[in-house]
């Protein structure tokens, strides 16, 4: 029984850590996107600003984390 409680606590700590990291990354992504999307519109929509390297890196880092974390929460 004690082992189960320890395992459960460890799992909860891991989930909370991942949630905090993802929240931080999502906040950074939100700021990056807000900055890009708040710029004045160009004369032609063909010249809209594309996502920055930083935005893309954040998305690539966040996306793989969400699926496994979601599965851990459902258990």
The predicted-structure confidence for 21-32, as pLDDT tens digits, reads as follows: 999 999 999 999
- The 8-class DSSP code of residue 52 comes to P
Considering the domain boundaries, does residue 42 fall inside one? Answer: no
pLDDT in the model for residue 71:
66
Overall domain count for the chain: 1
Domain coverage including residue 55: 27-34+50-75
Say which residue the tokens 């929460």 belong to.
Answer: 73
Residue 45 domain flag = no
- Any domain includes 3: no
> Is 59 inside a domain boundary?
yes
What residue ranges of the chain have pLDDT lower than 50? none
pLDDT of residue 26: 94
Q: How far apart are CA 22 and CA 39, in angstroms?
A: 26
pTM above 0.85, yes or no: no
pLDDT of residue 23: 94
Q: What is the pLDDT of residue 73?
A: 60
Q: Is residue 40 part of a domain?
A: no
């Amino acid at each position: 029984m004690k082992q189960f409680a320890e395992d459960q606590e460890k799992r909860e700590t891991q989930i909370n850590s991942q949630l905090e990291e993802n929240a931080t990354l999502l906040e950074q992504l939100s700021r990056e996107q807000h900055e890009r999307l708040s710029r004045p519109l160009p004369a032609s929509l063909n010249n809209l600003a594309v996502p920055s390297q930083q935005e893309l890196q954040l998305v690539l880092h966040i996306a793989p984390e969400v699926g496994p974390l979601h599965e851990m929460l459902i258990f």
